[in-house]
Amino acid sequence: MTKSVIELLQKPKVVGKKQVSPRGYFLEIYHPLVANNAKPGQFVTVQATELSARQPLQIVDTDLQRGTFSVLVEAYNRPTVELVELFAEGEELFNVEGPSGTPFPVEKYGTVLVVGHGWGAGANYPVAKALADAGNEVYVALVGGSRENIYCEKEYKELFGEDRVFVYTEDDEYGREGGAPQAVENFVNEVGTPDLVVFAGGAAVGEMVAEVTKAKGIKNISLVPTMMLCTSGLCLTCRVKVGDKMVQNCLEGPYLDGNAVDWKMVTFRNGYYWDLEKESLEYFVNKLLPKLKRKKQKAQKGE
Ligand code: FES
C-alpha cells in the first residue's frame, strides 16, 4: 500500500499494547516504512527515549492498512522494562530502525517443524506463515518453562489447526511435559522426520535442539540471539561462528544454519556482561523508574 511522505515521516508511535503474561507484552507500533518493507525473519531496533539503550526485537506481524507492525516484548532487561513500563498506547518512541537482517530463506522444503521456545514463538510466527504459503506442511511446537512462557498459541492454532500445534512445558503444568529437544524427538517418533526444523529461543536451548537435528541429519535454521549494538554491520558485537566462517548476525542473520552455529560461543558471549546488565536493571527499577513515572504523571496533568 502506498503511503504519503507525511505519513512516512511521522514519529514511530505505540498504537496498541496488550499484556499476555506477567512479563510478556505485544506492542503494535505505527511505522509505515517498516510495515511496508518487513519480510519474515527480520527485526527492528527500538530506542524508546533519547537516553535509552537500543533493543533489537523480532517483527511478529504487520498490518499494511494501519501502517503498523507488532513485536513481542519480554521484559527482562533495562530497555525492555522501560519500553513496557513507560509507554502506553498513543505515545511516541524516540526511534525505530528497520527492518534489519536477512529475511528467512522461504522456499519449499517439505515437512517443517517450527519450534518456538518462549519469546521465540512470536519471532517464528511470520516465518511459519510464509513457509505454509510456500507450500510446506507446517507443524508447530510451542515450548516454555511454564504456561506463562507459551506465546501465540491461539494464533498458531487458528492458522494451522489444533492438531498441528504441540504445546510443551518443562514443569508439566500445561500441554505435554518436556523441552524443545524432546519436542523434536517426539515429532520424529510420532509424525516422522521433518525436512526442516526452524528454531527460535535462547542460545542454550538452540544448542540442545541442534544436537538432536545434527544426530538425525535434519536441516536446521535457527534464530541466533546474539548481543547487538549498532545493528548495521559496524561494531562487530554480533559476530557468531558458523562452520569455519565468522558471520555478522545483524546483517546475515538472525536466522542461520543452526547445525553449524557455535552455540557455546553465543551463550558465553551473551553472558559476559550479565552481572552489569542485572545491576543496571536493578538501579533502573528501584531508583529511576519511580521518578520517571512521577515525572510522566505530572506532565500528563500539566503540572
Ligand atoms: S550489531 Fe554491530 S555489527 Fe552487528
Per cent of the chain over pLDDT 90 is 86
Instruction: Write down all domains in the chain, each with its CATH number in brackets.
Output: 6-100 (2.40.30.10), 111-271 (3.40.50.80)
| Residue 39 pLDDT exceeds 60 | yes
The lowest-confidence range among 5-14, 34-43, 92-101, 136-145 is 5-14
Determine the pLDDT at residue 299: 82
Alpha-carbon span 100 to 132, nearest angstrom: 23
Determine the pLDDT at residue 5: 61
Determine the pLDDT at residue 172: 74
In the sheet that 43-47 helps form, which strands lie side by side, from edge to edge?
13-19, 24-30, 68-74, 55-63, 43-47, 95-100
- β-pairing, 176-177 vs 245-248, is unpaired
Q: Which of 99, 108, 84 is nearest to 195 (CA)?
A: 108
Alpha-carbon span 282 to 276, nearest angstrom: 10
Contacts of 150 (CB under 8 A, 6+ apart): 121, 142, 143, 144, 167, 169, 174, 175
Residue 190's SS3 state is helix
Q: Ligand 1 pocket: which of 45, 47, 100, 231 to mutate (most atoms <8 Å of CB)? A: 231
Alpha-carbon span 300 to 29, nearest angstrom: 21
Determine the pLDDT at residue 63: 97
Spatial contact of 33 and 10, defined as CB atoms under 8 Å apart: no
Extract the C-alpha cell encoding 237.
558485537
**Cα of 251 to ligand 1 centre, how many Å?**
8
Residue 54: how many CB atoms within 10 A of its CB? Answer: 17
| Residue 80 pLDDT exceeds 70 | yes
Spatial contact of 205 and 117, defined as CB atoms under 8 Å apart: yes
C-beta of 234 in contact with ligand 1 (< 6 A): yes
More confident residue, 187 or 86: 187
Determine the pLDDT at residue 51: 87
Alpha-carbon span 151 to 191, nearest angstrom: 23
Residue 147: how many CB atoms within 10 A of its CB? Answer: 14
**What pLDDT, in 10s, does the model give residues 123-162?**
999 999 999 999 999 999 999 999 999 999 999 999 999 9
**Cα of 226 to ligand 1 centre, how many Å?**
10
C-beta of 130 in contact with ligand 1 (< 6 A): no
Determine the pLDDT at residue 209: 98
| Residue 70 pLDDT exceeds 80 | yes
Determine the pLDDT at residue 219: 98
Can you tell me the mean pLDDT for 117-123? 96
The lowest-confidence range among 2-16, 122-136, 200-214, 231-245 is 2-16
**Cα of 237 to ligand 1 centre, how many Å?**
5
Ligand 1 atom with minimal separation from the 250 CA: 4
